[in-house]
Amino acid sequence: MYDFIVVGAGLAGSVIAERITKLLNKKVLIIDKRKHIGGNCFDYYNKSGILIHKYGPHIFHTIYKEVWDYLSDFTSWINYEHKVLVSINRKKVPIPFNLNTLHELFPESISRKIEMKLKKNIGVEKKISIFKLRKSDDSDLKLLGDFVFDNVIKNYSIKQWGKGFDALDQTVLERIPVFISRDNRYFQDKFQGIPNHGYTEIFEKMLSHPNLEIMLNTDFNDVFSMDFQRGIVSYKGEEFKGKIIYTGELDELFNYKFGKLPYRSLKFVFKTIEKEFFQKAAVINYPNDYNFTRITEYKHITNQKSKFTTYSEEYPQHYDRTVPGKNIPFYPIPNLKNHELYERYRRLTLKFKNILLLGRLAEYKYFNMDLVIKSALNLFDEGINNAR
């Protein structure tokens, strides 16, 4: 009945399903465990009429014009450039740590000296990782690196990942730079914005093709079975000879044959108050205070006008697929042991000629939204369209 079955109605699955139905006019079934499309990008209007992101703030940004143009076929944009503050020593200062942050937190004599050395040794409008600063031979630059690590990263890591940075890949630390600039924007990408009517409308448009069927509240293992000896996947008891694009957790696909791949989950506590604004920025991070890591206030992002405002406190937690409220996998935990386990599962997929992996969960990588779209577009162009 179907030419393709896509597992997961999030960003990866929806983009690939849209391309297949629109450009190839093939029949596609897309299934998802949740009761809604859109995955973690899902947003909706709450009882007070505030558009909120159910799974935390999603700010779209990209350097890739082709990705921006693709998504722009489904939405117009709110012109929004994300600015984030972090609470350090009872001050709310810009993050990523930049020259403005430096001068707000350090005495002027020290901040001027560090700024001069940053510009001389690294350059203007450049970024350098905290990892490199902490290894610097220059005592002032090392002082800066240690300060940022101690006040921004160390405790945040324990809350976010449940472990210190020494148990994670170095690449995680390298994602947190010092920006030698007065630019307070969180992202410097050329294309930035928020969908004018939210993300859910984008998914509804993507998945509106008559050749596409959506099956929600459906677990993959309830309708599929795997024959490891013959490399055959069956759908509802019959061999499925079309392509399966899998965007879910790879260990679940193989019934945890080698053990479970670990993830971190998040709990969001939403609060609505009768006030124009609760805080002075869309997101304020709290690395050292409270049990939550950040507070997001959504009206800053959506530019809505209302006498009410809604914000969410974000609590990282252990992921447990068996416990409601903890059963959404947000972040793969990057370290060598976990990557080796993932590779064992990935090699199993090679026994099945019709399974393709796509997205953050299936590839066990942290992807920004634009890279998920780019990866899906590339898979369609190179792995599906050219393979016909």
Query: Which has the minimum average pLDDT: 12-21, 57-66, 203-212, 232-241?
Result: 232-241
For position 348, what pLDDT does the model report?
Answer: 93
Percent of the chain exceeding pLDDT 70 equals 98
Instruction: Give the single-character DSSP code of 1.
Output: -
- Give residue-wise pLDDT tens across range 181-237: 999 999 999 999 999 999 999 999 999 999 999 999 999 888 999 888 899 999 998
pLDDT at 277 over 90: yes
- 246 with 8: CB under 8 angstroms? yes
Residue 292, both tokens: 């939550």
* Average pLDDT of every residue of the chain: 94
Q: What mean pLDDT comes out for the span 101-107?
A: 97
Phi and psi for 20 in degrees, rounded to 5? -65, -45
Contacts 24+ apart (CB under 8 A), 302-305: 302/50, 302/51, 302/78, 302/194, 302/198, 303/78, 303/80, 304/49, 304/50, 304/51
Q: Calculate the dihedral angle through the C-alpha atoms of 240, 242, 245, 248, rounding to the nearest 10 degrees.
A: -10
- 183 with 98: CB under 8 angstroms? yes
CA angle 216, 217, 218 (to 5 degrees): 85
Alpha carbon of 133 to those of 17, 161, 171, 306, 373: distances in Å? Answer: 44, 22, 15, 44, 33
Domains of the chain in start order, with CATH, are: 4-37+207-259+333-385 (3.40.50.720), 84-179 (no CATH), 263-318 (no CATH)
- Give residue-wise pLDDT tens across range 253-266: 999 999 999 999 99
Could you tell me which residues are beta bridge partners of residue 190? none
Record the pTM: 0.94
Q: What mean pLDDT comes out for the span 318-346?
A: 94
For position 387, what pLDDT does the model report?
Answer: 63
- Give residue-wise pLDDT tens across range 351-366: 999 999 999 999 999 8
